[in-house]
């Protein structure tokens, strides 16, 4: 299929998120249907840029995003649900950002945005990107160049809203 593009509908599939009752499956339809959602993907929880800039940037700008009509901000990574929950707690996310696990990279592959870091001992991860979706359809997609951190940062997404 290739890489997903603006105008495409997000793939319908199951992901996992932590809840007070333990891990819970959640569908992309539940996440994206009927609202305006910002999703940002990081190569990995607890990794340097992800922890010092990407997630903190969205936390810092959460009120501004909501003021521009965003119903939900979602962070996704190719990590298991327990790692995503530990990272959520360590970063002080609370319920400001929905932390979603794509543990087997199924969603990431369906998007065509996988990043092969096997040679570096990190397995298959997600490229760094951010998107805006309205009712499950992508209206803006910003994929970073390798090693980059410009187009997917919170400030860039705010400017695109």
The per-residue pLDDT for range 123-150, each reduced to its tens digit, is 678 999 999 999 999 999 999 998 899 9
Answer whether residue 4 is part of any domain: no
CATH number, residue 22: 3.40.30.10
Ranges of residues in the chain with a pLDDT under 50 are none
Answer whether residue 99 is part of any domain: yes
Q: Are 17 and 26 in contact (CB under 8 A)?
A: yes
Catalytic residue among 17, 39, 42, 50: 50
Answer whether residue 8 is part of any domain: no
Full-model pTM: 0.94
Q: Is 145 helix (H, G, I), strand (E, B) or coil?
A: coil
pLDDT at 1: 52
Answer whether residue 9 is part of any domain: no
pLDDT at 123: 66
Answer whether residue 69 is part of any domain: yes
Answer whether residue 54 is part of any domain: yes
Answer whether residue 7 is part of any domain: no
Q: Are 17 and 100 in contact (CB under 8 A)?
A: yes
Question: Is 50 an active-site residue?
Answer: yes
Say which residues have a Cβ less than 8 Å from residue 74's Cβ, sequence separation at least 6: 31, 37, 38, 39, 40, 97, 98, 99, 100
pLDDT at 87: 97
Angle at 85 between CA 19 and CA 33, to 5 degrees: 60
pLDDT at 159: 97
pLDDT at 116: 75
Answer whether residue 45 is part of any domain: yes
Domain count, the chain: 1
What is the domain extent for residue 153?
Answer: 14-160
């Amino acid at each position: 299929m290739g890489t997903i593009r603006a105008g495409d509908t997000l793939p319908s599939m199951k992901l996992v998120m932590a809840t007070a009752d333990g891990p819970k499956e959640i569908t992309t339809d539940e996440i994206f249907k009927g609202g305006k959602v910002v999703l940002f993907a990081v190569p990995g929880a607890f990794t340097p840029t992800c922890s010092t800039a990407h997630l903190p940037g969205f936390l810092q700008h959460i009120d501004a995003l909501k003021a521009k009509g965003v119903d939900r901000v979602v962070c996704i990574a190719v990590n298991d649900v327990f790692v995503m929950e530990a990272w959520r707690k360590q970063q002080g996310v609370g319920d400001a950002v929905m932390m979603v696990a794509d543990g087997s990279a199924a969603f990431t592959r369906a998007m065509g945005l996988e990043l092969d870091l096997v040679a570096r001992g990190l397995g298959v991860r997600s490229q760094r990107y951010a998107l805006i979706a309205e009712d499950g359809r992508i209206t803006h997609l910003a994929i970073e160049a390798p090693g980059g951190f410009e187009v997917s940062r919170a400030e860039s997404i705010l400017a695109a809203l």
